[in-house]
Amino acid sequence: MKAGRDKVLPWSHLGKVDALWQNNPEGAFRKRNAWSLYNCFTEVMKSRSAARQFSTLSGLGRLFDPAAR
């Protein structure tokens, strides 16, 4: 939710992140940890332009690493 509120990723894309997280129990995102969640975000970001990927990665860094704030 914080990713949407902080405008790291559009709300419409957050549903795709959630779908990967919820509906891939035997796939690449089956482990329920921060790294797996981060990978769900980056998988969804692949459909975005390089510039938007860069800005999203910067925002994700701030979300996942409190020391980066």
Instruction: Please write down the HEC assignment for all residues of the chain.
Output: CHHHHCCCCCHHHHHHHHHHHHCCCCCCCCCCCHHHHHHHHHHHHCCCCHHHHHHHHHHHHHHHCHHHC
First to last CA, the chain: 18
Dist CA 66 CA 47 (whole Å): 27
Above 80 in pLDDT, residue 25?
no
What would the mean pLDDT of 1-19 be, rounded to a whole number?
90
Whether the per-residue pLDDT at 16 is higher than 90: the answer is yes
For range 5-11, the mean pLDDT: 89
pLDDT in tens, 27-68: 777 788 888 888 899 999 998 899 989 988 888 988 888 755
Specify the DSSP class assigned to residue 65.
-
pTM, 2 dp:
0.79
Residue 12 has pLDDT above 80, yes or no: yes
